[in-house]
C-alpha cells in the first residue's frame, strides 16, 4: 500500500474499534491522539524505502543500509520498535494501562504508534509482495493468499476510498454524539 492508504485504512480500523467497544467517548482528546499516532505509526515501517514520507522526514536515510520489506516489515522489527519505544517513553514518563481506557495521553501516543505499525504489516501481508514475518531469521517463500492486491492498483484505491468515507462517517457520528450528549464526556 502507499502511505496515504496505510494511514487511512489504519485510522479507519482503529476508529471503528473505538466505536465498537464503546470507548469513543471515554476520553475524546486521548482518542484523537490515539488516531493521530496510529496514522503516524502506519507510515513508519516504510522508513527503509528511499522515497517514502517517513524516510524523507528522517534524519538518517535508512534505505542506504536496510532492504525494503526486510527487517522493518517483520515480527522482530515490530517487537524491537514496540519494545524500544516503550522503554524510551517509559524513561520520560510512565506508560500506564488502566482497565483498557486511555486516560493517559502518553499511553495513547505509544499505543497508537504501535497499533499503526502493526496494522501496516498486516495490510502489506495482503499485497503481491507480502511480508516475510520471520525475517531475518527464516526466509519463507512468499505464498499468495486468496485475497491480495497490487500496490497502487485499483483494489487498493477502492480500499482507500472505503476507509476515507468510513472515517468521515464515523467522525460525523463522533461529533454528533458529543454535541447531543455532553454528559458522556
145 — pLDDT class (breaks 50, 70, 90): low
**Cα–Cα distance measured from residue 45 to residue 47, given in angstroms and rounded to the nearest whole number:** 5
Tell me the pLDDT of the chain averaged across its residues.
83
Q: What is the pLDDT of residue 53?
A: 72
Q: What is the pLDDT of residue 185?
A: 47
Reading the block at residue 60, the C-alpha cell is 538518517
Q: What is the pLDDT of residue 139?
A: 66
96 — pLDDT class (breaks 50, 70, 90): confident
Reading the block at residue 150, the C-alpha cell is 497490487
Tell me the residue ranges of DSSP E strands in the chain. none
pLDDT tens, position by position, 52-62: 676 667 777 67
Helices of type H across 75-139: 75-92, 105-125
Least confident of 109-113, 131-135, 142-146: 142-146
Tell me the mean pLDDT in the region 19-45. Answer: 87
**Cα–Cα distance measured from residue 79 to residue 26, given in angstroms and rounded to the nearest whole number:** 29
User: Which residues touch 174 (CB under 8 Å, ≥6 apart)?
Assistant: 15, 19, 24, 28
Helix/strand/coil for 152: coil
Q: What is the pLDDT of residue 133?
A: 77
pTM over 0.95: no
Reading the block at residue 177, the C-alpha cell is 454524539
Amino acid at each position: 500500500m502507499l502511505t496515504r492508504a496505510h494511514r487511512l485504512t489504519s485510522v479507519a480500523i482503529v476508529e471503528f474499534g473505538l466505536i465498537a467497544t464503546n470507548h469513543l467517548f471515554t476520553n475524546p482528546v486521548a482518542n484523537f491522539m490515539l488516531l493521530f499516532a496510529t496514522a503516524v505509526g502506519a507510515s513508519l515501517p516504510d522508513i527503509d524505502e528511499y522515497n517514502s514520507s517517513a524516510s524523507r522526514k528522517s534524519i538518517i536515510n535508512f534505505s542506504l543500509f536496510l532492504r525494503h520489506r526486510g527487517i522493518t516489515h517483520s515480527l522482530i522489527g515490530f517487537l524491537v520498535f514496540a519494545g524500544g519505544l516503550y522503554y524510551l517513553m517509559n524513561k520520560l514518563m510512565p506508560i500506564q494501562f488502566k482497565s483498557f481506557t486511555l486516560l493517559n495521553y502518553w499511553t495513547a501516543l505509544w499505543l497508537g504508534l504501535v497499533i499503526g505499525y502493526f496494522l501496516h504489516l498486516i495490510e502489506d501481508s495482503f499485497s503481491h509482495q507480502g511480508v516475510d514475518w520471520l525475517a531475518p531469521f527464516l526466509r519463507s517463500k512468499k505464498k499468495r493468499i486468496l485475497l491480495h492486491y497490487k500496490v497502487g492498483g485499483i483494489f487498493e484505491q477502492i480500499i482507500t476510498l472505503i476507509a476515507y468515507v468510513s472515517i468521515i462517517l464515523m467522525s460525523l457520528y463522533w461529533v454528533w454524539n458529543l454535541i447531543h450528549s455532553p454528559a458522556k464526556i
